[in-house]
Amino acid sequence: MLYTIILSITMMAGLFLMLWSAVGFIQNKRFFGSAPKVALDIIQPKGERFKGQHAVGWLMMLLSLVLMAGAIILGAYDGILKVFGLWQFFIRFATMMMLLKAFDILVFDWVLLCHSNFFPHYYPELKGVYGPHLFGYNMKSHLLQIALMLLGSLLAAWICTLM
């Protein structure tokens, strides 16, 4: 279980790096699909603050994807070596996904969106727009993602048992 927790923390680091790269460095609205609608209407396109900013962002994005995919692959590989059954794999993957979703809700939504200056730091036009009143604006999306994560965990567990 400790290994599963470590893999989950790795995925959390990857998810945070992904958010930071998109918001702080790449700064392209197409990455803001889950942002509140009010923010999408206000955000203005940004130029590079320093030479190579977008390249740094894309490298961070790549690293975030490697961290998250690597955690899943290592979790699967470790389970295969330990001859996990379907339910052991499912519990591992579901735990990883649910901890990642909890991190998303608590850190991204509650802390960064509602109680910090993270987004207005990069987009000053959002100052005063974000706040505690936005917590839970995307609850339906979160519930759908949780259901898909559980189904994906079951599918991944089944695939791993075939190996």
How confident is residue 88, by pLDDT bands cut at 50, 70 and 90? very high
- Higher confidence at residue 88 or residue 120? 88
Q: Distance (Å, rounded) from C-alpha 148 to C-alpha 143?
A: 9
- Higher confidence at residue 91 or residue 139? 91
Task: Express each pLDDT in 123-132 by its tens digit.
Answer: 888 787 777 7
Give residues with Cβ within 8 angstroms of 115, minimum separation 6: 132
pLDDT for 109: 85
How high does pLDDT run on average in the chain?
Answer: 90
Report how far apart, in Å, the C-alpha atoms of 29 and of each of 1, 45, 46, 84 are: 38, 8, 10, 42
Amino acid identity of residue 6, one-letter, is I
Q: For residue 95, give its domain range.
A: 2-162
Residue 147 has pLDDT above 90, yes or no: yes
pLDDT for 126: 78
Residue 14 has pLDDT above 90, yes or no: yes
Cβ–Cβ contacts within 10 Å for residue 97, how many? Answer: 21
What is the number of domains present in the chain?
1
Q: DSSP alpha helices (H): ranges in the chain?
A: 2-20, 37-42, 53-81, 86-103, 118-122, 139-162
Give residues with Cβ within 8 angstroms of 139, minimum separation 6: none
Task: Express each pLDDT in 17-73 by its tens digit.
Answer: 999 999 889 988 777 777 777 777 777 777 888 899 999 999 999 999 999 999 999
Which residue matches tokens 């599963």?
A: 4
How confident is residue 2, by pLDDT bands cut at 50, 70 and 90? very high
Task: Express each pLDDT in 102-124 by its tens digit.
Answer: 999 999 888 888 888 888 888 88
pLDDT for 131: 72
| Gyration radius of the chain over CA positions | 18
